[in-house]
Amino acid sequence: MSAVITSTINCKSLSLSPPWISRDNSPLKRRSTKVSCAKSPDDYHSTLKSLNSRGRFPRKSLGQHYMLNSDINDQLASAADVKQGDFVLEIGPGTGSLTNVLINLGATVLAIEKDPHMVALVTERFAGSDKFKVLQEDFVKCHVRSHMDSILESRRLSSDPDLALAKVVSNLPFNISTDVVKLLLPMGDIFSQVVLLLQDEAALRLVEPALRTSEYRPINIFVNFYSEPEYNFRVPRENFFPQPKVDAAVVTFKLKHPRDYPDVSSTKSFFSLVNSAFNGKRKMLRKSLQHISSSPEIEKALGVAGLPITSRPEELTLDDFVKLHNVISSE
């Protein structure tokens, strides 16, 4: 079974010894959208009560927007197919409303939280659970890979291949969503899937950009190189406190294992080419890639790759960029 991780981590003081990690790996049937929780699910009143009990108000600087609808948390977990024995990483657990759903489904949760007040809140809330650990740290500065390798080491000895991978399920602070996507998607050897609640506009840009539009950017090549993205459903802004100015959406990124990445000689040089291609609005590739090769050589490479010599970056799919990169790098 896959593992799922939630919340905040203090990377410097993180103890990754296995006693708190559940050994119960018995299978469960795929969960339904609705979940019967051992503890009552969080709702509007319980979430505000948790915040008020500590005199807390969401901090705009941290992009904090707390979920007020327990059904959305159930659907987030359902999108990730969270099951008994899973290991889940949660980024920004807040008051622990999503964490509660994950634990009650039988998952072990590692949460990474930047706000020390929220760390104290969820630490107290789940003090009696051996399936939860929260670490105080800024996720985008935390060395997630080294910590996850330590956590998953014993699980990789199992005959069940799903146990070797974890999952990420999170209602992200909106202001770090792009950074989180860039950090997590290349980790297909650690996570099987990443399920995130993002701003709706950002979700659509990542998952459903159309070719030949200004919304098509290098990040779209990146997302499709490392994953199979899916837009799950929209979440109206009224479900959050404080209410943001935009709606949100749940997106699933099914991560590709490194052995299944597109065949390029170097991912570094590939993405360097992609980023260069998009430099300069609507420039033809024979112009934007001149620092790599001369215009005639770029035109020749485009022809060998089966692309028009007048091609612009927003007209190329992931496969097109792979072909072009491989032609140029082989010369």
- Phi and psi at residue 5, in whole multiples of 5°? -125, 135
52 is in an annotated binding site: no
124 is in an annotated binding site: no
Quote the CA–CA distance of 327 and 310 in Å, as a whole number.
Answer: 17
- Phi and psi at residue 109, in whole multiples of 5°? -120, 130
94 is in an annotated binding site: no
67 is in an annotated binding site: yes
* CB-based contact 89:187 (threshold 8 Å): no
Q: Report which residue type is found at 142.
A: C
Quote the CA–CA distance of 6 and 195 in Å, as a whole number.
Answer: 11
Quote the CA–CA distance of 179 and 252 in Å, as a whole number.
Answer: 16
CA atoms within 13 A on the CB side of 279: 13
Quote the CA–CA distance of 276 and 255 in Å, as a whole number.
Answer: 25
10 is in an annotated binding site: no
113 is in an annotated binding site: yes
Strand partners, 312: none
Binding residues: 65, 67, 92, 113, 138, 171
Binding residues for S-adenosyl-L-methionine: 65, 67, 92, 113, 138, 171
